[in-house]
Amino acid sequence: MPVGGKTAGGLRSSDAVSARLTIALDAMGGDHAPEMVVAGADMARLRCPEIDYLFFGDEQRIKPLLANLPDLERISTIHHTPDAISNDAKPAVALRSGRTSSMRLAIDAVAQGKAACVVSAGNTGALMAIAKFVLKTLPGIDRPAIASFFPTMRGESVMLDLGANIECDSRNLVEFAVMGSVFAKTVLGLMEPTVGLLNIGAEEIKGHESIKQAAAQLRITPLPGKFHGFIEGNDIPAGVVDVIVTDGFTGNVALKTAEGTAKLYAELLRRTFSSSILAKIGYLLARNAFTKLRKRMDPRRYNGAMFLGLQGVCVKSHGGTDADGFANAVCVAVDMVTRGFNETIKVEVARINSAIAEASALVESSSPDSSLPDPKAAAV
């Protein structure tokens, strides 16, 4: 099962933009805002040239930055607000008191049709809460999920949920599988993406009831891809499947563990190659190879977590990223809009529910006491 089509790196240069898009940016979100946001927007301008920007934030801080970048200034509009949501604000508090914040106003711009998508490096919980409240979920979707790229031995996979939903039932996992499949097909360009449920073992008897019920439902659900079955944690970096589906608690732990492991190996390599003269010479001889490895594993390359299942495109950038990483997040948002991700989700959910209804009618008419999984349960 090779992972083909567009890679995460390939997403970063927009080859599908045919008309100018307006993007709303939370200029005050992130550890190094607004400087990082403005610089990142300028880099994204070169990669995705057919876009205009709406900057939401403190005009006194944003305007001088744009003045130094005349090409960016020409395609930018500042919407002033002195309010910003702090990184430690609780989602409920941000939702109630952040109505005039840069984050809320940027999301409002998408809901009002003034912008095609929104990108923020701010508080993740607040962004999800406000985006869900303002944009609402797509028809047929109960809960949105956070998805992101995951580097593997075979290219890039997409993994969801990464923290939006701590507890999930079988219906939620089926919805995530549908959304992940559509993303892999429309954005990554895979003809028939494979989907796996992250579990403690590949055997059908393993796992809690919710995940076993989700597997039973997915086996009879006409996904826009192929259901592989259960996968284990070591299957993620191996690239066994294109779409990894799990609850937000497990997904977030897996993601942070992978990030920590990557940092551990990087530090061990640094210490090893600085331990002696011969080791330093060895590094010099292999420097080109290590440069390629560093670029391949650069977290900025995969920056830009997508909030899937909302009636509007919302992308979360890592709060501690730099301009390069933020530019990647902007181009992820552009790709989702230009490739019609949300429109495809609506079509696929309607198609699946129609197929489930037909299957349900057939099962009820032919074998009322059938022991097969209930097709109605798989409706999304």
pLDDT tens digits for 79-89? 999 999 998 89
Asked if the domains 1-136+310-339 and 139-305+340-380 are classified in one and the same CATH topology, the answer is yes
Mean local confidence (pLDDT), 245-263: 88
Mean local confidence (pLDDT), 359-378: 56
Residue 167: pLDDT above 70?
A: yes
Provide the pLDDT for residue 12.
38
Query: How confident is residue 367, by pLDDT bands cut at 50, 70 and 90?
Result: low
Lowest mean pLDDT among 164-173, 276-285, 365-374: 365-374
Domains of the chain, by residue range, sit at 1-136+310-339, 139-305+340-380
Q: Output the pTM of the full model.
A: 0.81
Distance CA 161, CA 158 (A): 10
Mean local confidence (pLDDT), 47-69: 93
Distance CA 99, CA 84 (A): 10
Provide the pLDDT for residue 225.
84
Mean local confidence (pLDDT), 145-169: 88
Are 185 and 225 a contacting pair, CB within 8 Å?
Answer: yes
DSSP string across 234-255: THHHHT--SEEE--HHHHHHHH
The yes/no answer on whether domain 1-136+310-339 falls in CATH 3.40.50.1970 is no
Are 40 and 324 a contacting pair, CB within 8 Å?
Answer: yes
Provide the pLDDT for residue 366.
62
Residue 269: pLDDT above 70?
A: yes
Could you tell me which residue, 206 or 74, shows the higher pLDDT? 74
Rounded to 10 deg, the angle between the 277-285 and 248-273 helix axes is 120
Distance CA 1, CA 26 (A): 39
Mean local confidence (pLDDT), 103-126: 94
Strands (E) in the chain, as ranges, are 21-26, 51-57, 76-80, 117-120, 145-152, 155-160, 194-198, 226-231, 243-245, 305-308, 313-316
User: Tokens representing 195?
Assistant: 């989907």
Lowest mean pLDDT among 19-28, 102-111, 149-158: 149-158
Query: How confident is residue 121, by pLDDT bands cut at 50, 70 and 90?
Result: very high
User: Tokens representing 292?
Assistant: 């390629």
Percent of the chain residues past pLDDT 90, beyond the cut: 47
Mean local confidence (pLDDT), 291-309: 78
Could you tell me which residue, 327 or 11, shows the higher pLDDT? 327
Provide the pLDDT for residue 265.
83
Provide the pLDDT for residue 2.
38
| Cα dihedral sign, 262-177-185-43 | negative
Tell me the Ramachandran region of residue 206: left when phi exceeds 0, alpha when psi lies from -120 to 50, beta otherwise: beta
Query: How confident is residue 59, by pLDDT bands cut at 50, 70 and 90?
Result: very high
Give the right CATH number for 139-305+340-380 from 3.30.1490.270, 3.40.718.10, 3.40.190.10, 3.40.50.300. 3.40.718.10
Provide the pLDDT for residue 10.
39
Provide the pLDDT for residue 369.
53
Are 110 and 89 a contacting pair, CB within 8 Å?
Answer: no
Query: How confident is residue 54, by pLDDT bands cut at 50, 70 and 90?
Result: very high
Distance CA 353, CA 183 (A): 18
